[in-house]
Structure 1
Amino acid sequence: MRESVKFYIDGRWTDPADPARSRTLEVVNPATEQVCGTVAVASATDVDRAVAAARGAFPAWSQTSVPHRIEVLRNILDAYQKRSGDLAAALTEEMGAPASLANGFQVGLGAGHLTKAIEVLEDFPFEERRGATLIVKEPIGVCAMITPWNWPLNQIAVKVFPALATGCTMVLKPSENAPSAGQIFAEILDAAGVPAGVFNLLQGDGPGVGVPLSSHPGVDMVSFTGSVRAGVEVARNAAPGVKRVTQELGGKSPNIVLDDAAFAESVAAGVANMMGNSGQTCSALSRMLVPGSRMDEAIGIAREAAAGVTVGDPNGDVAMGPVVSRAQFEKVQSLIQKGIDEGATLVAGGTGRPDGLEKGYFVRPTVFADVTNDMTIAREEIFGPVLTILGYDGVDHAVEIANDTEYGLAGNVAGADLDQARAVARRIRAGWVSINDGFDFGCPFGGYNKSGNGREWGEFGFHDYLETKGLLGYAPDEAAP
């Protein structure tokens, strides 16, 4: 039984400020539906303590040298690698990530972002001379970080590592659905020798911790990843303090499959990718766009690909585990039923658990075809293993459908003709558009429209943690005549 009942504040593990009145929540293993842990809910008093620790540590940490911060980050990387097995086990138990995914991409993303942060920091231009003026990039201050359960280490990494690298201090609140990743992460930073107060961890839920943290007068910046609804509330809470707020929110991302020789391969890859992490990915390519004239062909390929997705005990050799919670399971089930009711063609899957699974929040890998972009399953973010296939008449129509969404987080163009794929990708209104599933730790990640604001990953992840100062007359001898 995992217990996340202490908070990491000012370099020490500490009990809640008022243990007699503190609340705890149960953590449920989504594969077994059994309680697997307990997490404490921090109070406003705990938030005050953590923010005070971060404010107290900021003057010294913000003035540390780049070589010193690089050394600290390298120490973290060493400690992270030593705990990779513990992190993976926690993700499998608490969020149902298959062991291969947890030990692979889930944990690997954290290490990859840390390695990239070190690389960026080595050459990052914190100062620039422009004639007589010096432009300086300085750490913004104390940062509040609120992260989700679907990619816990990725979302913690893309916030914490740039903040550390730029000289900020911080308070992290991970999701109460998967708290152990954050708990182990704090242990890693403690073992690596991160100075007291620079990094602080509070556990709990949105009302108990997220609200007082995002509205706290001692916080200078809030970085949030989660739903649009929660993101709006975070922004409202932060607004009276005129804080900087960055948000990575939802998506309903298009995958345009071009009409060329790679069609069959592209459709099969799109199905497999959608089922990864049980479809619980903000940037999931949940709308596949295919030429209308090849819809029947796409249906046959997609049906076969979905049938090949193995679902079951995440500790075993499976491609897909459960979704994270009963609430998520019920939401996905209702939207699958909505797709059926609205007249989409059910190609694979459907409501209920996969055959042979009597318990656990397992969802059948589901594919709908003949979907139109006005259907609920084409508009709403399902956040489950549900793919919708829409037909298009020509590339212009495909781009029109792709951009007909309130979101704009990601997209993909799949095809053998690279020049055409490049041209189409330029026209998609989204922050992260891949060509044939390209991937790059240095690419900026973030959304247009209701998918959020700000950018994470690589050097672009540094900018939101920095203020820009102009020192006029810094070099008067270099003033323009």
Structure 2
Amino acid sequence: MIEKRNFYINGEWVAPIDARDCEVIDPSTEEPCAVISLGSAADADAAVAAAKAALPGWMATPVEERIALVEKLLEIYMERGEDLAQSMSIAMGAPIDLARTQQVGAGSFHLKNFINAAKKFQFDRPLDEKYPNDRIIYEAVGVAALITPWNWPMNQITLKVGAAAIAGCTMILKPSEESPLDAMVFAELVDAAGFPKGVFNLVNGDGTGVGTRLSGHPDVDMVSFTGSTRAGIAISKNAAETLKKVHLELGGKGANVVFADADEKAVKRGVLHMMNNTGQSCNAPSRMLVQSEIYDQAVEIAAEVASKVAVGSAHDEGNHMGPVVNKTQWEKIQGLIQKGIDEGARLVAGGPGLPENFNKGFYVKPTVFADVTPDMTIAREEIFGPVLSIIKFDTEEEAITIANDTEYGLTNYVQTQDPARANRMARVLRSGMVEMNGKPRSAGAPFGGMKKSGNGREAGIFGIEDFMEIKAVSGWTPE
């Protein structure tokens, strides 16, 4: 049993003020794999006090020195990649090969992009060449509370910590109690990189305890949260009392619009994207909208592809889908699969219950529903599991209507060989991101949504800007 009860506060590993043990469950086996402490309001207060004390010195540190420390962090991150991968595999169920590549790789990718973006960005510049006496200064927001989820741990931790550090913010990280081990390894990396005391702090805890205290704390200037829409709303309400800045990256119900002229790999690509990370991605293409001319063929392909997705333990090497994170998520997904059946959707792959040859572990069958209508529960709720809903449409206008008929607005996808149509779709789809024909967003592109998918943007210079205030100065004397 791994024991990680201490917190990282003011540059030291310290015991909780009021110890409360919490077992971390391995979703592949349903057995405890580690024990951590859940912090209290007093622990959160201690971390905030350390961050507040460190803020003036960190803000005054030249940005070049802050960038250099993030570069050192990246170097150590790469050296400890296997430790990070193992901690994510055991605690949140990412198959070890996926953990080593996608999960660990996401973190290094974001840190590199922050470094590159920061070196090109003018943190202090004239308003315009016509107005040399007007100055625009980008200044750190202040003390930032970073609350991260369990599904892509290093992706979200690096998106927040890298941007906050370069911007000049001090911070308190509260990782998910479902996947805390990787965050504690990350704290070791920050310590080894030589960040000044108090710049980075880590306190484990649950949302109602440490999370609530941080989001409402009068000395916290910003909350950056990634998680469910329900929790994001609660954080916004709690933070409103102190008028702090709130950045939210929340749920999604992405539409993948497949036109009749889509390339031959479009359907397969969409199914595999949906099943990646066991469907536990807020930007998953969970609604596949297929034009009627190719609908039957697409359903057949989707069912065949899903049926060939292997399911296995997160500890086993190979290309397979692991378990979902915990029993609560498993039961929620099972309930929604049954709801799809009860409401009349046609099950063409997967279904309720454990996959064949499994009698324990939080495993879900790769599931595909056809003949889904936009009003069905599985077409409207974020399932956060390997469940794909296929919806038929006739015209481009109908596809737009269906795609936008959701409270979410994170990522939509378009598959068509017609460039003009692709561009039209990109302009009218109501989401923070649109990916077309399988081409991923480039390095440094902003990540974030609209509507109930949240606000603000992460990654690259957009992410750094989110942790800064803009100060306008008049009467500046050029030096």
With normalisation by structure 1, the TM-score equals 0.97
Runs of 4+ deviating beyond 6 Å = none
* Contact kept in structure 2, 1:142 and 1:220, CA below 8 Å: yes
Asked if 1:11 corresponds to 2:45, the answer is: no
**1:325: which partner in 2?**
326
Aligned to 2:313: 313
Residue 469 of structure 1 aligns with an amino acid whose one-letter code is K
Separation (CA, whole Å) in 2 of partners of 1:337 and 1:313: 24
Q: Secondary structure at the match of 2:447?
A: coil
Do the aligned residues in 2 keep the contact of 1:348 with 1:365 (CA within 8 Å)?
A: yes
Contact kept, 8 Å, 1:90 with 1:181, in 2: the verdict is: yes
Aligned to 2:294: 294
Aligned residue in 2 for 1:446: 448
Residue 217 of structure 1, CA deviation? 0.7
Contact 1:6 1:16 in 2 (8 A): yes
Map Cα deviations across residues 415-445 of structure 1 (whole Å, 9 max, x no partner). Answer: 3333322221222110011112322231111
Alignment of 1:376-395 (within 5 A): 376-395=377-396
Unmatched runs of 5 consecutive residues or more in structure 1: none
Q: Hey, what's the Cα distance between the residues in 2 that align with 1:136 and 1:417?
A: 44
Contact 1:422 1:435 (8 Å CA) reproduced: no
One-letter amino acid matched to 2:233 = V
For 2:475 and 2:47, the matched residues in 1 are separated by 39
Partner of 1:47: 44
What residue identity is the alignment partner of 2:36?
Answer: V
Map Cα deviations across residues 338-369 of structure 1 (whole Å, 9 max, x no partner): 00000001010000011111110000000001
Letter of the aligned partner of 1:327 in structure 2? T
In structure 2, the residue matched to 1:373 is 374
8 Å CA contact 1:4–1:203 kept in 2: the answer is no
Please say which of residues 70-79 and 416-425 is displaced more in the overlay. Answer: 416-425
User: Are 1:459 and 2:461 counterparts?
Assistant: yes
Work out which of the residue numbers 73, 76, 87 in structure 1 matches 2:73: 76
User: Which secondary structure does the structure 2 equivalent of 1:371 belong to?
Assistant: coil
Q: TM-score, normalised by structure 2?
A: 0.97
Aligned partners of 1:223, 1:67: CA distance in 2, in Å?
24
The answer for the alignment partner of 1:123 in structure 2 is 120
Q: Distance in 1 between matches of 2:97 and 2:70?
A: 26
Kindly provide the amino acid, as one letter, of the partner of residue 30 in structure 1: P
1:139 aligns with 2:140: yes
* Match runs of 1:49-448 below 5 Å: 49-130=46-127, 131=131, 132-260=133-261, 262=263, 264-316=264-316, 317-439=318-440, 440-448=442-450
RMSD: 1.2
- Cα drift, residue 475 of structure 1: 3.5
CA 1:261–1:400: 2 relative to 1, 3 Å: closer
Unaligned runs of 5+ in 2: none
How far residue 136 of structure 1 moved from its aligned partner, in angstroms, is: 0.8
Aligned-pair distance for 1:261?
5.3
Give CA deviations for 1:254-292 in whole Å, capped at 9, x if unaligned: 001121151x41111111110000000001000000012
Give the Cα–Cα distance (whole angstroms) in 2 for the partners of residues 126 and 438 of structure 1. 32
d(CA) in 2 for partners of 1:396, 1:207:
43
Aligned to 1:367, what secondary structure does the other structure show? strand
- 1:31 aligned partner: 28
In 1, Cα distance between the equivalents of 2:262 and 2:456?
Answer: 37
Aligned-residue offset at 1:476: 8.9
Distance 2:71 2:124 in 1: 23
User: How much has 1:315 moved relative to structure 2?
Assistant: 2.1
1:470 positional shift = 1.2
The number of residue pairs the alignment matches comes to: 473
Q: 1:266 and 1:315 mapped to 2: Cα distance?
A: 31
What SS is found at the alignment partner of 2:358? coil
Percent sequence identity is 52
- TM-superposed CA distance for 1:93, in Å, is 0.5
User: Does the 8 A contact of 1:39 with 1:204 survive in 2?
Assistant: no
Separation in 2 of the partners of 1:415 and 1:102?
Answer: 32
Question: 1:314 is aligned with what amino acid?
Answer: A
Give yes or no for contact 2:59–2:168 (8 Å, CA) kept in 1.
Answer: yes
